[in-house]
Structure 1
Amino acid sequence: MIGKLTTYIANNAGFTRYLKNTSWLMAEKILRLLIALSVGVWVTRYLGPEQFGVLSYAQSFVGIFAALSSLGLNDIIIRELVKSQDQKDVILGSSFGLQTLGSTIIMLILTISIFLNDNDALTNKIIIILGLLTFVNSFTVISSYFHSLVQSKYFAVTGLVGVFISALLKIYFILGGYSLIFFVYVLAFDVIFLTAGLIWFYTKSGQSLLAWRFSWKMAMSLLKDAWPLILSGIIVSIYMKIDQVMIKEFMGNSSVGQYSAAVRLSEAWYFIPTIICSSLFPAIINAKIKSEELYMSRLQKLYNLMVVLGAVVILPVLLLSDWMIGILYGEAFSQSAGVLDIHILGSVFVFLGVANQKWFISENFQAYNIICLGFGMVVNVILNIVLIPALGIMGAAYATLISQFVASVLAPVFFKKTRGSFFMMLRALFFVQIFKDRKIV
């Protein structure tokens, strides 16, 4: 098997090029995970539930509006750059202008909100700092340029260096007994350093930011294609962040800290299905071209793989959650273990959801994807309102678990065109096809 794979790679230079490109991104993700499980955990333990809750609440509050900054343009930019390299400066300039406009809207919303809420001055200061960083993020359109040229290493290298430096800064601040705001400055450093690195590599490659040109015609064309992604991005932002905002309103910062500590451990693995499904997506598309039978077979195997990977993540966490929380965070975060037990169960639904999104794209059913995510968002908000006052942070965990099942697995059953994916996911969840074929892929 390994010999065949080696021969295949050797005979396919294009495949090798894309594999190397992906390996840079994978390396960056893995390093970020390792640092999150070491330095990030140390920071959480140092800050304690109350201060960590303040930071998590501010990040979640700003994160709800984050989709207005990126406008779902990243993949659209890559597609347009691949198609029309001669229009590079217009595409990048128009995208940058749109994302800057989106950041301006975010800042208006955040500014109004701080006058209407009852947050303390520090929380509002952190919200404003994080909001201002969305303007800096507009320059990450440059990363789309490098992705379009299959040169993701520039993005990854900058990210790797930035992560290493920020880790050292966090350790220095912990050992020096610095306050919460300095860790917020490290978050700002991460964004600014990544942007500066991208600009440096961009100019080093012979390009110039001064050549960028904004075109309303190009901007409208980009928005026309991106609006479903903008809408789904807003839905996902609310879906993923609203629980921590609502916990703050119902229970306070300390409870947010307890909940967020567990969630960060649970969500640390979400990059796995994203990278695997993106890598296997071309094989799914090729199968669709060749035959319907091969297409459906590969889809089923992809769903099977997602369930198995989900189980591999879930089982050790369920067995070791109390020990993990105690070792990583300490006694102060004892409530996080119960949340982790519940929240981690949703991983299998998230993994299936990532795979199912690829099916939506291959069938050109993006509108159904938005509706399914919308179902999940509505269920999540309603359950949080009902369960948090009754069960506390455990209620928020149950709300997330149920809404993830609804959005990823259950919602497709309500539409005739998407019902087939529901049954494939159901077979995967009950290991029907795995036991039948006795193989995963």
Structure 2
Amino acid sequence: MSANRRIAGNVVATILGEGVGALLNIYVIILIARELGPENFGAFSFILAFVGLIQLVTDMGITNLLVREIAQNPERYPAIIGSVRSLAWMLTGIVLLPLSIVCLVFIEDKDFGLSLLLMASAALAVMHAVIYGAVFRAFERMTFNATFFVFHKILLLVLVLVWMAGEATILNLCLVYLLANIAQFLMFFIATWKVFGRVELAFDYPYLKYLLIEAIPVGFSMLFRKATLHVDSILLSALSTPLALGLFSAAYRIIQIIEMLPFTLSIPMYPQLARLAGTNMQAFNDFLNKILRFYVMIALPVMGGLFIFANQIIGIMYTDDYQSAGALLQALSVVVFFIFPSSIMIYVYTATQKQRLFTWVSLGVFSINAILDVIFIPFFDALGAVIGTAFAEAFFVISSLYLLNKSGCIVDVVSIIVRPLLALVLAVTVFELVPIFDGILMLIVQGVLFLILYAALLLVTRAITLAEIKTVAQGLKRSKAQSVDSQLEGNG
């Protein structure tokens, strides 16, 4: 199988898995938000934000490096995964012991302390699952990852429905997440054992030392990026009200769901970027520009759709108590424009051996977000957090493009953005002049009409040409024909 077809197959499997999983996750979040109400949902969002940082600290970028290590040295898979498993269990103990003491002894609200501990345990279970998931990624068998992701969301949905039928407290909800995440870990563990063979625990100190040293820059950058995602919730909890946190979380959760798409698309792009960066910088730049152009064309209609239909989306997903979140989602829509290109940046920095630069940029983004939150939240509540998030994400993309340009990664920003942006402005202007109707069916119909109008305007503004569409179609036909020929040869 050619590299392009392999990448395409993994992209399709991942998109299908992430897509179905994302829809299930959206439904789960809607059920939880409706059941808890804005204030309790805000408290639960704080717990999620806190344990998300714990999970990132324990991972420190090791799983990303694990993919590279196994892909480059597949024969060493048992030794590599055996050592990383030992490290993961040690980190689990190091984190859980002091956290248990803090949660069970020093936190006065015992239910909150126990909820925090259960959710932290659930996050650590995900870390173990991701280690085994990295094995399937390294061997480019992402169908397993996609399948288990969907199974995990189905199980979580079932458990949440059981939770709603019983005593629907935050404590019991955290227990639901723990059970679902343990099941996900067991699925990956058993599948890895069956597909690649059982691996015993090992401890290769020199190798683990090397792995940790290599992971530190990547880990810190991921930590800062993850912290940026959660700093708004944490500072809203400290500087504003639970209601403001709940409203912001309801709107921002939609952005986080959308964010899964560009990150999913970016994962299979990394190997090609890495190869080109080491052999042909001009080809690397051409490939990067194509990726960013594609991302911009997708990001803009999503951003426009959120801006136009924000109130309708909030009305469908949540109860009337969340009505004020519509304005927040409308303001957050601008963030979508930046999260698409930002999703590929970690792979661009890594491919060009600029990991340490990525760490400093990520620290800058986190600092800007936190500082703006501290300044604006006391005056504007949840809208202050939106301002911090939007400016921080814009800084990340703009500064990355500038710094990468200085190091030889040339991106033609004007040709990538101007014409698609003009098409979007025209499409949004048209829809601002027509009435927007409520209801799921009307949202789907109007959303499809908006996409059709945007696509037509892409052609009118020559952001994309019929010749380019024809070239892509011919390429897809050739790929399909080659796939059929390969199957016939195999059957013969």
- In the superposition, the TM-score normalised over structure 1's length comes to 0.87
Q: Distance in 2 between matches of 1:88 and 1:282?
A: 19
Match of 1:95 among 78, 81, 84: 84
Report if aligned partners of 1:126, 1:184 keep a CA contact under 8 Å in 2.
yes
Residue aligning to 1:3? none
Closer/same/farther in 2, CA of residues 282 and 185 from structure 1, 3 Å limit: same
Report how far residue 429 of structure 1 moved. Answer: 3.5
Q: What does 1:163-242 correspond to in 2, within 5 Å?
A: 163-176=153-166, 178-205=168-195, 207-209=197-199, 211-242=200-231
Report the 3-state secondary structure (helix = DSSP H, G, I; strand = E; otherwise coil) of the residue aligned with 1:178.
coil
Shift of 1:117: 8.2
Aligned twin of 2:412: 424
CA distance in 2, matches of 1:305, 1:206: 36
Deviation at 1:377, TM superposition (A): 0.6
Following TM superposition, by how much is the alpha carbon of 1:294 offset from its aligned partner in structure 2, in angstroms?
4.1
Code of the aligned partner of 1:205? V
Pairwise CA RMSD: 2.9
Cα distance in 2, alignment partners of residues 301 and 98 from structure 1 = 39
Q: Specify which of 296, 301, 322 is matched with residue 311 of structure 2.
A: 322
| Paired AA for residue 152 in structure 2 | G
Moved more, 341-350 or 179-188: 179-188
Q: 5 Å matches for 1:1-16?
A: 12-13=1-2, 15-16=4-5
Q: 2:111 aligns with which of 122, 145, 150?
A: 122
1:409 maps to 398
Q: Report what 1:384 is aligned to.
A: 373
**Equivalent position of 2:450 in the other structure:** none
Range that drifts further, 81-90 or 390-399? 81-90
Query: CA 1:150 to 1:371, structure 2 compared with 1: closer, same or farther past 3 Å?
Result: same
- Asked whether the 8 Å contact 1:321–1:340 carries over to 2, the reply is yes
**TM-fit CA distance, 1:298:** 3.0
Kindly provide the CA deviation profile for residues 58-102 of structure 1, in whole angstroms up to 9, marking residues without a partner as x.
Answer: 010121232222121112212222333343232112212323333
Quick check: 337-346 or 299-308, which moved more?
A: 299-308
- The residue number in structure 1 matching 2:302 is 313
Does the CA contact (< 8 Å) of 1:69 and 1:134 recur in 2? no
Partner of 1:157: 147
Using the TM superposition, name which of 164-173 and 43-52 deviates more: 164-173
Cα shift readout 1:20-54 (whole Å, capped 9, x = no counterpart): 34433222211121112323212211211111111
- 1:393 deviates by 0.5
Match of 2:241 in 1: 252
| Counterpart for residue 360 of structure 2 | 371
CA distance in 1, matches of 2:356, 2:14: 29
Residue 198 (structure 1) shift: 1.4
With structure 2 as the length reference, what TM-score do the two structures score?
A: 0.79
Q: Distance in 2 between matches of 1:165 and 1:116?
A: 32
Counterpart for residue 63 of structure 2: 74
Partner of 1:301: 290
Secondary structure of the equivalent of 1:37?
Answer: helix
Q: CA deviation at 1:286?
A: 5.9
Q: Answer whether contact 1:64 1:237 (CA < 8 A) is retained.
A: yes
Letter in 2 for 1:200: I
Measure the CA separation in 1 of the matches of 2:404 and 2:263.
Answer: 25
2:424 — aligned with what? none
Range with greater deviation from structure 2 (358-367 or 43-52): 358-367
Note if contact 1:277-1:354 (Cα within 8 Å) is conserved in structure 2.
yes
**Residue 418 (structure 1) shift:** 4.7
Query: 1: CA distance between counterparts of 2:258 and 2:270?
Result: 20
Confirm or deny: 8 A CA contact 1:376 1:403 kept in the other structure. Answer: yes
Shift of 1:293: 4.3
Cα 1:385/1:105, change in 2 over 3 Å: farther
Equivalent residue number for residue 252 of structure 2? 263
Residues 213-267 of structure 1: per-residue CA shift (max 9 Å, x gap): 1111111111122111111122112211111011111123332211111111112
In structure 2, the CA distance between the partners of 1:295 and 1:196, relative to structure 1 (3 Å rule), is closer
Aligned counterparts of 1:297 and 1:427: Cα–Cα separation in 2: 13
Map Cα deviations across residues 270-304 of structure 1 (whole Å, 9 max, x no partner): 12222323334455556657755444333223222
Q: Secondary structure at the match of 1:382?
A: helix
CA contact (8 A) 1:110 1:127 kept: no
Count of aligned positions = 428
SS in 2 for 1:214: coil
**Residue 52 (structure 1) aligns with:** 41
Consecutive unaligned residues in structure 1, runs of 5 or more: 1-11
* CA distance in structure 2 between the aligned counterparts of 1:418 and 1:123, rounded to whole angstroms: 48
Output the amino acid matched with 2:418.
Answer: F
Matched residues in 2 for 1:322 and 1:39: separation?
20
Taking the aligned partners of 1:304 and 1:275, their CA distance within structure 2 comes to 17
Q: Which residue of 1 aligns with 2:487?
A: none
Aligned residues of 2:104 and 2:113 also touching (Cα < 8 A): no
1:169-227 superposed Cα distances (whole Å, 9 cap, x missing partner): 22233244632322222211221011111122223336224x22111111111112211
